[in-house]
Amino acid sequence: MKIGKKIMKWILIISLLPVAYIIISLLLSSITVNNTAGNENAAKIIFLNTNGVHLDIIIPIKDIDNLVLADIKHYPNERYLAFGWGDENFYINTPTWNDLTFNNAFKAMFLKSTTLLHVTRYQQKPSDWVEIKVNASELQSLNSYLLNTFKINKDGKKIILENQGYSSIDDFYKSKGSYSCFKTCNSWANDAFKVSGLKSCLWTPFDFGLLNKYE
């Protein structure tokens, strides 16, 4: 009987962990940091976009630092670059949500892994991007955050994964950090805003956490 009670106790604890994770996530997502009033010097514009789960940070190419642009594939007719961060295995093996498997999701959330920066090029701005005004200092800090996310080779160059993009307008680059349920693609984007002095969540693993601060 004692063994049975212990087993039931651990089953209950394990079953409650996802619930606790969601409750804590929602609570911390609701807490706003850098919640300053309007900025008169906010003369630049960046954007946020979501595919329903995953956030991208989009910056006009003219406002991207040359050190960030170095070694990133882009062409004269393109005006924007979108940056997203995530687990390498998940990115490469889950091009669409129909390709999602429990194994890939479990590895991304709970096992130490390598990560990638996903860079997508755009000629025009879609109507569903969320517009965010930033000042020069915030923009520079955001550029620095992006630059520091890229992993570089021994020659100091960014490392592209050749022929691994989903289409003709995107590429993957090796990045720093390990993905987990505590450091998700969305918490990476939220951290970018937080360290840049932009309005953000205390912490969030969800796309709507940061989006709700601007919509």
User: Is 80 exceeded by the pLDDT of residue 107?
Assistant: no
DSSP 3-state assignment of 25?
Answer: helix
DSSP 212: T
d(CA 68, CA 61): 10
Q: Is the pTM of this model over 0.85?
A: yes
| Structure tokens belonging to residue 115 | 């990560």
Q: Tell me: the pLDDT tens digits for 140-195?
A: 999 999 999 999 999 999 999 998 999 999 999 999 999 998 999 999 999 999 99
The full set of domain ranges for the chain reads: 43-211
- For the chain, the average pLDDT equals 87
Q: Mean pLDDT over residues 128-147, rounded?
A: 97
Burial class from Cβ neighbours inside 10 Å (0-12, 13-18, 19+) for residue 160 reads middle
Q: Tell me: the pLDDT tens digits for 45-81?
A: 999 999 988 999 999 999 999 999 999 999 999 999 9
DSSP 53: S
d(CA 9, CA 83): 43
